[in-house]
Amino acid sequence: MNYRMISYILGFVLKIEAGLMGLSLMVALIYGEQSALAIGITMAITFVVGLALGWKKPHTKSIRVREGLITVALSWLVMSLLGTLPFFISGAIPSYLDGFFEVVSGFTTTGASILTDIESLPKGILFWRSFTHWLGGMGILVFVLALLPMSTGHFLHIMRAESPGPETSKLVPNMAKTAKILYAIYIGMTVAEIVALMIAGMSLYDASVHAFGTAGTGGFSVRNASIGAYDSVAVDVIITMFMIMFGVNFSLYYLLLAKKFREIYKSEELRIYMAVIFACIVIVTINILPLFGSFGESLRYSSFQVSSIITTTGYATTDTNIWPQLSKTILILLMFFGASAGSTGGGLKAVRVLLLFKTAQRALARLVNPNTVKIVRLDGRRVSEDTISGVKTFFLIYLIITAVSVLLVSIDGYDLETSSTAVFACINNIGPGFGMVGATGNYAHFSAFSKIILSFDMLVGRLEIYPMLILFVPSLWKKAA
Amino acid sequence: MKIVIVGSGNVGYHLAALLVEEGHDIVVIDNHNETLEKLVEVLDIKGVHGNGSYLDVQMEADVPHADLVIAVAQRDEINMLCCLLAKKLGAKHTIARVRNLEYSRQLHLLSDELGLSMAINPELAAASEIARILKFPSALKIDTLAKGLVELVHFKLAKDNPLVENSLQEISGKFSHKILISAVERNGEVDMPTGSYVLQAGDKVHIVGKLEDITKFFKSLGLFIPKSKYVMIVGGGQIAFYLAQQILTMGMKVKIIENDRKRCMELCEFLPTATIINSDGTDQDVLMEEKLEGADSFIALTESDEANLIISMFAKSKGVAKVITKINRSKYMNVMQQMEIDSFISQQLITSNTIARYVRAMQNTEGSSVETLYKFVDDKAEAIEFIATGNTRHIYEHLKDLKLKKNLLIAALVRKNNVIIPDGNDKIIPGDNVIVVTTNKKLNDLDDIFAVRANKAAAKTKD
């Protein structure tokens, strides 16, 4: 195992993290807050640790699959451990574990919070809290790949380990260029949303923070009542649109820029993603009509909630706990469905669900006619059997981890709705669930053990299982393995 | 540049590695998904799965916007079709590997229609390289620069070599020949030696000079091996055929041992003056029977790397002065070079280096461009030939006053067919062919050799 290279990249990641904290420091200084000191100290610590880890240049750049997975897992862990410090040092969140839960929730773009009164926190700290969404959305290692002064194909393993979806490929032959294009699209769309929200009447600070939350499909707000606090149709519509847009595979935007419209049209994942959103909005709108009275209001709230859950953002404009059971069940199912592969969203991803259905369809066809030869196609192309079995395994492990987590969290003794949707909302990177962790609740009441389990689930969901699980394979750490 | 490579075999792999290193955007097309996957995992390139001669596959690889399409797939027909299609789609340049002799002969008729910028025949290229070595067997490898006026000769220092334990200053005192020791390879690393550098046994030394000066130098060292007279070749493939053709006209005697009777008949038909033996050349008894000990040179060209290595070692043990071995798996080149065999030939490496050279030359249409380029020591060092123009910086200045980049040496100047091994008092004048040896890659222009960059220097003069 190439420990040197892993440590070198880790060091680079931390140096970048320290640099990016500078934005929060600026915000804290502009508002003249004490929290600037806490952020400054964290930046210094993070930078020194980064410097130490990246001190020795690696002999070889070779990174194989396992090194790629470990690099990603360790980067996210270390990044979160250090990213907790601003909360801890400033005293905004007195318990380190609570702070860690909050930061993991930020980086993994979950948006599950342990804070009971968000508005009382300093603005610099809240800016950092939301900025972690933005960084975690596209992935910090992708950011590093755009900047790291060396390039080999080996880094593909890192990108694959961090980017969501069953198959990750480069947009253009060059890795650094691919990473730059992805970030350019990401930054462009984020800025567009900030401008739109400002036009709708938000301040620059509020607009930026909520744009970060949307872009990363995270869901941290600076208001206790989330987006509902603004009670503005314009804000709701803008955020709904952008949530849906950030849940689309980013390579489609590249195709859009390259004017390859035919290939966008061919994308089955985009079609199924849009179709599901549309269908669910229609059903929920009708279902919640009695609650809101007018069709317009009903549509406004249903479209916002459906988009918020399917893209795994987790913003709320209303308390969904009081919605009819049908709507709540739809939202729970959408949690697992998730956004598209290659987007910033979490969940299983539309393309995996699609492939599972197609495989099931094939299995049925084989039952009826055992000699049928059938291949699974996606976008008109054959999907390899390796990919299909990969998707099946993924689904299976995903369910096992979910089940075990529900079991462990239920030790706390809360009702089934609370403990199960808490796990669903964390592993799928959504944030709010139902019951006590619903839109108006939070995760503060869980025990330390449950918070660790839920943090782990969030990382499992964001990094798509394997990077986190590989850390627990004993033979990995033995020399002669 | 955007370059599309069709075929991810040995040549495709090495070529992609070389070109990525030089900063190009590479897309590789291959029919075989597994080899392609492996390639994509180790190199920063994009892979496209499919037949390179299909329209939709080429469209997916974005051939219409490619600067260069290189077709090195298994079959000649596919390669030519690839290039034809690519050209029609708007690719600027195309290079095809064409192995079949008949095809390569008729290529000059077709190359306009095919739009080929270059066709390369790996076997022919390998044969030419072997022939060059046979002309000057004292070298491990010999490269020609400045249209044959300057040679770059690589050789290995044995323990009893008089140069061992001498510094370069002492050497130039003892042997006042007009040659230059330009690079030394030690333990897999390349050093650009200075006057105080002491040579050791086992070093691989690269010298630059005129062939007759190098010959004199070798004679005074007592290491000169005269031009081969009797060459024994094992394996009668295409390389053997081209090689025999070339060296027979140079007046050497050739004996080819080939196992396949049909192939022997063919060789016999096209090479009337060569001796063809139908027997198993990997059998020691056969080799002894065919008077291996009497051969000046022994060349192992069978299909199997292992067989080539073993019979080469056997030939060396029987005292053959010059042994050349063909290997296919160039990745093991490092290990093999520690063996007692004189020279290794890899047609894949030759092919990819030739194409890489062409790409480098393509890049600069203006300024003092690259004329020829050789890579050696696992591509760690390069010898590059530039032509100086009136616009080159620092012309008419004494070389000792110039600040050159680190690890870079001006090895020779060729002025009106005269070879100058320069010292500090020489100057570069327009029209010179300047030969530079360096471990500093990515030199595209003669101006790149100077330590201060052109625009910075220009900015300074403005102040």
Would an 8 Å CB–CB cutoff place A254 in contact with chain B? Answer: no
Is the predicted pLDDT of residue A359 greater than 90, yes or no? yes
Mind listing the pLDDT tens digit for each residue in A304-336? 999 999 999 989 898 888 999 999 999 999 999
Q: Are residues B244 and B203 in the same domain?
A: no
Token couple for A50? 């980064």
- Nearest CB among B33, B39, B46 relative to A170 is that of B46
| Per-residue pLDDT, A196 | 96
**A169 contacts in B (CB within 8 Å)?**
46
Q: Do B27 and A173 touch (CB under 8 A)?
A: yes
Which of A66, A69, A155, A156 is most worth mutating to test chain B (most B CB atoms within 10 A of its CB)?
A156
Picking from B191, B221, B251, the residue at the C-terminal end of a domain is B221
Specify which of A190-199, A221-230, A358-367, B90-99 reaches the highest per-range mean pLDDT: A190-199
Q: Please report the pLDDT score of residue B14 as a whole number.
A: 85
The answer to whether residue B131 is domain-embedded is no
Q: Which residues contact B159 (CB under 8 A, 6 or more apart)?
A: B201
Does A153 contact B46 at a Cβ distance shorter than 8 Å?
no
Q: Which residue has the higher pLDDT, A439 or A405?
A: A405
Contact by Cβ (8 Å): B429, B388: yes
Q: Which residues of A fall within a CB distance of 8 Å from B43?
A: 152-153
* Inter-chain CB proximity A154 and B41 less than 8 Å: yes
- Residue B191 CA to residue B178 CA, distance in Å, equals 21
- CA closest to B40 among chain A residues: A153
Give the amino acid at B202: G
Cβ-Cβ contacts under 8 Å between A and B: the total is: 35
Confidence category of residue B462, pLDDT binned at 50, 70, 90: very low
Angle A208-A212-A215 (CA atoms, 0-180°, nearest 5)? 130
Q: Select from B169, B189, B221 the last residue of a domain.
A: B221
Q: Which residues of A touch B26 (CB under 8 A)?
A: 173
CA dist list (Å): A120 to A89, A204, A224, A229: 16, 19, 10, 15
* Structure confidence at residue B461 as a pLDDT band (50, 70, 90): very low
Residues B208, B211, B213, CA angle at the centre, nearest 5°? 80
* Structural domain includes residue B298: yes
Any idea which of A313-322, A444-453, B395-404 has the lowest mean pLDDT?
A: B395-404
Structural domain range at position B247: 229-320
Is the separation of the CB atoms in A339 and A310 below 8 Å?
A: yes
Greatest alpha-carbon pair distance for chain B in Å reads: 78
User: Is the Cβ–Cβ distance between B404 and B396 less than 8 Å?
Assistant: no
**Backbone angles phi and psi of B238, in degrees to 5:** -65, -40
Task: Give the mean pLDDT of B438-450.
Answer: 76
In a shared domain, residues B286 and B315: yes
Do B146 and B48 belong together in one domain?
no
Query: Cα–Cα distance between A347 and A109 in angstroms, integer?
Result: 11
Which residue on chain B is closest to A61 by alpha carbon?
A: B42
C-alpha span between A105 and A129 (Å, rounded): 9
Best of B46, B60, B62 to disrupt the A interface (most A CBs within 10 Å) is B46
Q: Is B89 exposed, middle or buried (0-12, 13-18, 19+ CB in 10 A)?
A: middle
What is the pLDDT averaged over residues B17-22? 84
What is the distance in angstroms between the Cα of A3 and the nearest Cα belonging to chain B?
18
**Length of chain B in residues, anyone?**
463
A173–B42 CB contact, under 8 Å = no
Q: Is the pLDDT of residue A134 over 90?
A: yes
Predicted local confidence at residue B463, as pLDDT? 40
Listed by number, the residues of chain B in 250-309 with a beta carbon closer than 8 Å to a beta carbon of chain A are: none
| Domain annotation covers residue B381 | yes
Closest chain B residue to A176, measured at CA: B44
Query: What is the arithmetic mean of pLDDT over A197-215?
Result: 94
Chain length of chain A: 481
Decide if B18 touches A, using CB distance below 8 A: no
CB atoms within 10 A of CB A334: 24
pLDDT at A65 over 90: no
**Is the pLDDT score of A93 beyond 70?**
yes
Going by pLDDT thresholds of 50, 70 and 90, the confidence category of residue B378 is: low
Q: How many domains does chain B have?
A: 4
Is the pLDDT at A435 greater than 50? The verdict is yes
The answer to whether residue B41 neighbours chain A at the CB level (below 8 Å) is: yes
Asked if pLDDT for residue B369 goes beyond 70, the answer is no
Q: Give the residue from B15, B19, B41 with the most A CB atoms within 10 Å of its CB, the best one to mutate.
A: B41
Contact A173 B45 (CB under 8 A): yes
Q: What angle is formed at CA A37 by the lines to CA A36 and CA A38, rounded to 5 degrees?
A: 95
Q: Tell me if chain B has a CB within 8 Å of the CB of A170.
A: yes
Contacts of B20 in chain A (CB under 8 A): 153
B129 in a domain, yes or no?
no
A172/chain B closest Cα distance in angstroms: 7
Which residue among B187, B203, B221 closes a domain? B221
Q: Is the pLDDT of residue A151 over 60?
A: no
Q: Which helix (H) or strand (E) holds B434?
A: strand B433-438
**Residue whose C-alpha is closest to residue B416's, from B383, B440, B387, B443:** B387
Give the chain A residue whose CA is nearest to the CA of B43.
Answer: A153
Rounded to the nearest integer, the mean pLDDT of chain B is 83
Closest residue on chain A to B47 (Cα): A173
Residue B171 lies in a domain: yes
pLDDT at B452 (0 to 100): 67
- Using a CB-CB cut-off of 8 Å, the residues of chain A touching B33 are 384
Q: B interface mutation test: which of A155, A172, A381 has the most B CBs within 10 A?
A: A172
- Domain co-membership, B254 together with B174: no
Using a CB–CB cutoff of 8 Å, tell me whether A154 touches chain B: yes
Say yes or no for a CB contact (<8 Å) between A157 and B25.
no
Contact A172 B46 (CB under 8 A): yes
Phi-psi category of B177—alpha, beta or left, where left has phi over 0 and alpha has psi -120 to 50? beta
Interface touch A151/B40, C-beta < 8 Å? no
Do B254 and B195 share a structural domain? no
In the numeric block, the tokens 């529900």 are attached to A406
User: Among all residues of chain B, which has the CA nearest to that of A382?
Assistant: B49
Whether residues B40 and A152 touch (CB distance < 8 A) is answered with no
Report the distance separating Cα B243 and Cα B234, nearest Å.
12
Does pLDDT of A6 surpass 80? yes
Handedness of CA B57, B59, B64, B67 (dihedral sign): negative
Q: For helices A448-462 and A96-107, what crossing angle results, to 10°?
A: 20
Distance in angstroms (rounded) separating the CA atoms of residues B308 and B297 = 14
Chain center to CA of B298: 20
Residue in chain A closest to B28 (alpha carbons) equals A173
Q: Average pLDDT, stretch A287-298?
A: 91
- Check if B57 contacts A (Cβ < 8 Å): no
**Nearby residues of A161 by Cβ (< 8 Å), 6 or more positions away:** A68, A69, A71, A72, A73, A141, A463, A466, A467
Residue A247 has pLDDT above 90, yes or no: yes
pLDDT tens, residue by residue, B219-241:
888 777 788 888 999 998 889 99
Q: How far is CA A245 from CA A184, A239, A242, A308, A334, in A?
A: 15, 10, 5, 11, 17
CATH code where residue B386 lies: 3.30.70.1450
Interchain CB contact of B126 with A (< 8 Å): no
pLDDT band at B390 (very low <50, low <70, confident <90, very high): confident
| CATH number of the domain residue B237 falls in | 3.40.50.720
CB A153 within 8 Å of CB A202: no
Whether residue A383 lies within 8 A of chain B, CB to CB, comes out as: no
Give A402-431 pLDDT, tens digit per residue.
Answer: 999 999 999 999 999 999 999 999 999 998
- Does residue B165 fall inside a structural domain? yes
Name the residue in chain B with its Cα closest to that of A65.
Answer: B41
In a domain, B174, yes or no: yes
* Residue written as token pair 């650094």: A176
**ipTM of this predicted complex?**
0.75
Residue B351: its H or E element? helix B347-363
Residue A302 has pLDDT above 90, yes or no: yes
* Interface check B146 vs A, CB under 8 A: no
B294-338 pLDDT, tens digit per residue, is: 888 999 999 888 899 899 989 988 888 889 999 887 667 667 766
DSSP sequence for B153-209: EEEE--TT-TTTT-BHHHHHHH---SEEEEEEEETTEEE---TTPBP-TT-EEEEEE
User: Given this model, what pLDDT does residue A179 score?
Assistant: 86
Nearest to A172 among B20, B25, B39 (CB): B25
Distance of CA A47 to the CA centre of its chain: 25
SS3 track for chain A: CCHHHHHHHHHHHHHHHHHHHHHHHHHHHHCCCCHHHHHHHHHHHHHHHHHHHCCCCCCCCCCCHHHHHHHHHHHHHHHHHHHCHHHHHHCCCCCHHHHHHHHHHHHCCCCCCCCCCHHHCCHHHHHHHHHHHHHHHHCHHHHHHHHCCCCCHHHHHHHHHHCCCCCCCCCCCCHHHHHHHHHHHHHHHHHHHHHHHHHCCCCHHHHHHHHHHHHCCCCCCCCCCHHHHCCCHHHHHHHHHHHHHHCCCHHHHHHHHCCCHHHHHHCHHHHHHHHHHHHHHHHHHHHHHHHHCCHHHHHHHHHHHHHHHHCCCCCCCCCHHHCCHHHHHHHHHHHHHCCCCCCCCCCCCHHHHHHHHHHHHHHHHHHHCCCCCCCCEECCEECCHHHHHHHHHHHHHHHHHHHHHHHHHHHHCCCHHHHHHHHHHHHCCCCCCCHHHCCCCCCCCCCHHHHHHHHHHHHHHHCCCHHHHHCCCHHHHCCCC
Check whether A61 has a pLDDT greater than 80.
no
Whether residue B375 is found in the same domain as residue B268: no
Predicted confidence band of residue B70 (pLDDT cuts 50, 70, 90): very high
Note whether A152 contacts B44, CB cutoff 8 Å.
yes
Sort out which chain B residues have CB atoms less than 8 A from A172's CB and list them. Answer: 25, 46
Nearest residue of chain B to residue A160 (CA atoms): B41
Contacts of B54 in chain A (CB under 8 A): none
Locate tokens 């930054």: which residue? A187
The answer to whether B44 contacts A153, with C-beta atoms less than 8 Å apart, is: yes
Sign of the four-CA dihedral B282, B284, B286, B289: positive
Q: Is the pLDDT of residue A241 over 90?
A: yes
The yes-or-no verdict on residue B423 having pLDDT over 90 is no
CA distance A245 to chain B (A): 25
Q: What's the whole-number mean pLDDT along residues A293-309?
A: 93
With respect to residue B49, please indicate whether it lies within any of the assigned structural domains. yes
Contact B168, B194 (CB under 8 A): yes
Are B72 and B12 members of one domain?
A: yes
Cα nearest neighbour of B45 on chain A: A173
Residue among B27, B33, B41 whose CB faces A156 most closely:
B41
Do B194 and B94 belong together in one domain?
no
Among B165, B159, B153, B162, smallest CA distance to B199 is for B165
